[in-house]
Amino acid sequence: MRDLSAGPRVLLKRLRELMAEPLEPQERLDRIVRQIASNMVAEVCSVYVLRSDGVLELYATEGLNKEAVHTSQLKMGQGLVGTIAASAQPLNLSDAQAHPAFRYLPETGEEIYHSFLGVPILRAGRTLGVLVVQNKASRNYREDEVEALETTAMVIAEMIATGELKKITRPGLELDLTRAITIDADAYNEGIGLGHVVLHEPRIVVTNLLNEDAEKEVTRLAEALGSLRISIDDMLSRREVSQEGEHREVLETYRMFAYDQGWVRRMEEAIHNGLTAEAAVEKVQSDTKARMMRLTDPYLRERMHDFDDLANRLLRQLTGFSGRAFDEGFPTDAIILARAMGAAELLDYPRASLRGLVLEDGAVTSHVVIVARAMGIPVVGQAAGVVALAENGDAIIIDGDDGQLHLRPVLDLQKAYEEKVRLRARRQEQFKALRDVEPLTKDGKRISLQMNAGLLVDLPQLAESGADGIGLFRTELQFMIASTMPKLEEQESFYRNVIKQAAGRPVTFRTLDIGGDKVVSYFRAQEEENPALGWRAIRLSLDRPGLLRTQLRALLRASAGAELKMMLPMVTEVSEIHAVRELLQKEVQHLSKFGHSLPRKLQFGAMLEVPALMWQLDELMAEVDFVSVGSNDLFQFTMAADRGNARVSDRFDNLGKPFLRILRDIARAGERNKTVVTLCGEMAGKPLSAMALLGVGFRSVSMSPTSIGPVKAMLLGLDIDQLSAELNAALDDIRSSEPIRALLVRFAEANNIPV
């Protein structure tokens, strides 16, 4: 390794002194460029800063015409300076005028300078400006001079990032760092969130840039790298990391980077140029990121994230920074920004302060999204690059209805959204006022309104919404957010807790519905061509009786002395119900044998989600105490249209004739067999479709808690008999081509029913 280069070290020392002096920003910047020019024996040194309109403006110069400061400007990609900014790469030229991108700016008087060295001013991989030195004589700048200029650029990046330069930015203009940005993302959970950014993994801000003793810093770096490597090797040897699969692949990539000699060499070089170990890590991370950000290959971009994570770990090692940035003063309107995140991590945040969640990756079915939905937080996903563009505390709006996010929004937009939020809140207040109103239709029919749930965070909503009980408790969610299979005791205590918090209102537990889109990482089944039609739900449970028996035992034990209501998902044949009953019987015997007390009463039900059950309705109803229609699945299987694929899922109308006729047949079979029939799919929560359900004979529905108010408001104004007469006539009319949905809308309007 080359010995300490004295030049850059002296320069950095001077810069450190300059940064500490109480100077006006322009004065500080002027002195910085003078210092760099003299140290690098350059006739010119200039700083260009990127503005929010994509223009690079000359902010300070030594050597060029002073009048050009704050007037000379270049667009991103234009001229040598614009090329450096756009590519985030240095340019080192002995004959600048010969470069095809060279652009002559007469106001600067730079035509007499032949050699040119420019480097991007980077922060967290983002380009904030360009730093240039020029000489009259034709020369090639040495590699260590390039390095030194890059290191110096970090100091200027700090000045820009701390907002110091705002004071010398002309009125009406803004620096790029504070630019308002709108990102089109995917809507994962509805609602609007206004608040301030909390980076889930806060960027570690290196404040100690310049070293006193390079050898000491090299040793610190080596030690930190050593611990990092050990921790990765450790993770790789742990049992939970399956032999194959994504997790292992990521760790292998981390290991590869951690041992990469090129990376280590570049960091050591930066230390020898005067940086502290942490500043060296940050510099190399920023350079690498800036280069990789321009890649379009999704595989390589993914590797960039891995590299970034690894560098952050190393920074944490070196700075001892581990906690959240907001240990104190966590904003009361936090919008969490994360690349990806585990469900449990979201639950660690103070619920009352969360206003939204933004994910760079993620899918609508990912666990953290499921949990956020349960918590009623707006979520947008696939928000490309947002983490690098945002700073902790930035104002942000997320629109979970349209899938947009606005970072540092302009005032007008902010106001428009505030108005929207106020309107929503007012409507929610109106619904809240209905909480204790009995759900009786205008013609006196009592409707059972229940809510869907799956996590403990849902439970408070039971009392808040005024629901009669939980019509669907999705037990698989506990399994989906756990990292290992929940044990008998864990399941039992979880169910016990749910029952306790339900405080006497009935809870209908659905046995495990995993498989299909509900993936449990520690239970990897084989790849399937058609997972929705595959080995899932009750099919899987019957083939793994140990799993099902454990769950049945936990449910029985948790409901000792009370009533247990349970139902089976995805039943296709009545024989499946017999099989589960047999297992249940065995569990009951087992528990009594060992002196456990049993539930006072057992209500046993089946979900109707598979069309084949339509031709076994009477047999089914003879077998169970209740039936619950899972309209999400029943509709997807009836229409052969994937519920998760937007191109086909909205193609057919669930208020069309075929599906409403099916639902009417189910309700009629329920009446005939005196079996309670409920519907717990998403359509129960939409006032217009809930109205249709009541029209075809349903008297019990279960939905997300936020829908209880709107559905109750609808039914209070509804005369069911009147609707049924019209609706049945339309469903029986084989000649009419008027869509049933139109009839329903007309009916609601004519009768002043809010839908």
Catalog residues that contact ligand PEP under the rule CB under 6 A: 472, 474, 513, 609, 630-633, 680-681
Which of ligand PEP, Mg ion, none does residue 277 bind (CB under 5 to 8 Å by kind)? none
Least spacing, CB of residue 530 vs ligand PEP, in Å: 16
Please report whether residue 630 would count as binding Mg ion according to CB under 5 A.
yes
Indicate the residue among 599 and 670 with the shorter CB distance to ligand PEP.
Answer: 670
Listed ranges 45-53, 538-546, 584-592, 629-637: which one lies at the site for Mg ion (CB under 5 A): 629-637
Size of the site for Mg ion (CB under 5 A): 3
Least spacing, CB of residue 88 vs ligand PEP, in Å: 45
Least spacing, CB of residue 369 vs Mg ion, in Å: 17
H-state helical runs in 340-385: 343-347, 367-375
Cα–Cα dist 357/188, whole Å: 10
Structure tokens of 174? Answer: 């803004």
Question: What H or E segment, with its residue span, contains residue 216?
Answer: helix 214-237
- In the set 196, 367, 578, 596, the catalytic residue is 367
Least spacing, CB of residue 455 vs ligand PEP, in Å: 13
Listed ranges 299-307, 540-548, 603-611, 702-710: which one lies at the site for Mg ion (CB under 5 A): 603-611
| Residue nearest ligand PEP, CB atom distance | 630
Listed ranges 120-128, 176-184, 269-277, 628-636: which one lies at the site for Mg ion (CB under 5 A): 628-636
Is there a contact between 241 and 247 (Cβ–Cβ < 8 Å)? Answer: yes
Least spacing, CB of residue 684 vs ligand PEP, in Å: 9
Pairing mode of beta strands 192-199, 91-93? unpaired
Q: Which residues contact 356 (CB under 8 A, 6 or more apart)?
A: 191, 193, 195, 335, 336, 377, 378, 379, 380, 396, 398, 400
Please report whether residue 476 would count as binding Mg ion according to CB under 5 A.
no
Which of ligand PEP, Mg ion, none does residue 680 bind (CB under 5 to 8 Å by kind)? ligand PEP
Cα–Cα dist 740/752, whole Å: 18
User: What is the footprint of Mg ion within residues 506-525 (CB under 5 A)?
Assistant: none
Q: Which residues contact 362 (CB under 8 A, 6 or more apart)?
A: 188, 340, 341, 368, 369, 381, 382
Q: Is 596 a catalytic site residue?
A: no
Least spacing, CB of residue 510 vs ligand PEP, in Å: 8
Which of Mg ion, ligand PEP, none does residue 681 bind (CB under 5 to 8 Å by kind)? ligand PEP
Question: What H or E segment, with its residue span, contains residue 263?
Answer: helix 261-272
Indicate the residue among 120 and 569 with the shorter CB distance to ligand PEP.
Answer: 569
In the set 486, 633, 704, 710, which binds Mg ion (CB under 5 A)? 633
Nearest to 691 by CA among 627, 746, 628: 746
Is there a contact between 165 and 346 (Cβ–Cβ < 8 Å)? Answer: no
Cα–Cα dist 40/290, whole Å: 25
Indicate the residue among 686 and 712 with the shorter CB distance to Mg ion.
Answer: 686
Cα–Cα dist 94/141, whole Å: 8
Cα–Cα dist 46/32, whole Å: 10
Least spacing, CB of residue 528 vs ligand PEP, in Å: 17
Which of Mg ion, ligand PEP, none does residue 132 bind (CB under 5 to 8 Å by kind)? none
Q: Is 406 a catalytic site residue?
A: no
Which of Mg ion, ligand PEP, none does residue 176 bind (CB under 5 to 8 Å by kind)? none
Helices (H) and strands (E) in the chain, counts: 27, 22
Indicate the residue among 319 and 654 with the shorter CB distance to ligand PEP.
Answer: 654
Is there a contact between 501 and 456 (Cβ–Cβ < 8 Å)? Answer: yes
Indicate the residue among 68 and 370 with the shorter CB distance to Mg ion.
Answer: 370
Indicate the residue among 205 and 684 with the shorter CB distance to ligand PEP.
Answer: 684
Indicate the residue among 99 and 539 with the shorter CB distance to ligand PEP.
Answer: 539
Nearest to 699 by CA among 326, 441, 466, 417: 441
Cα–Cα dist 74/49, whole Å: 10
Nearest to 385 by CA among 410, 406, 359: 359
Indicate the residue among 321 and 652 with the shorter CB distance to Mg ion.
Answer: 652
Please report whether residue 191 would count as binding Mg ion according to CB under 5 A.
no
Indicate the residue among 538 and 680 with the shorter CB distance to ligand PEP.
Answer: 680
Query: 347-356 — which CB contacts under 8 Å span 24+ positions?
Result: 347/371, 347/457, 349/198, 351/375, 351/457, 355/193, 355/194, 355/195, 356/191, 356/193, 356/195, 356/380, 356/396, 356/398, 356/400
Site string for Mg ion, 608-627 (x = CB under 5 A): -x------------------
Least spacing, CB of residue 681 vs ligand PEP, in Å: 3
Question: What H or E segment, with its residue span, contains residue 178?
Answer: none
Indicate the residue among 5 and 636 with the shorter CB distance to Mg ion.
Answer: 636
Which of Mg ion, ligand PEP, none does residue 710 bind (CB under 5 to 8 Å by kind)? none
Q: How many residues does the chain have?
A: 755
Least spacing, CB of residue 557 vs Mg ion, in Å: 26
For 269-311, the DSSP string reads HHHHTTB-HHHHHHHHHHHHHHHHTT---HHHHHHHHHHHHHH
Cα–Cα dist 452/702, whole Å: 6
DSSP-derived letter for residue 24 is -
Q: Which residues contact 40 (CB under 8 A, 6 or more apart)?
A: 7, 11, 133, 145, 148, 149
Least spacing, CB of residue 203 vs ligand PEP, in Å: 38
Q: Measured between alpha carbons, how far is residue 98 from residues 115, 117, 419, 674 in Å? A: 10, 14, 56, 90
Which sequence positions are flagged as catalytic? Answer: 367, 680
User: What does the binding site for Mg ion look like in residue numbers (CB under 5 A)?
Assistant: 609, 630, 633
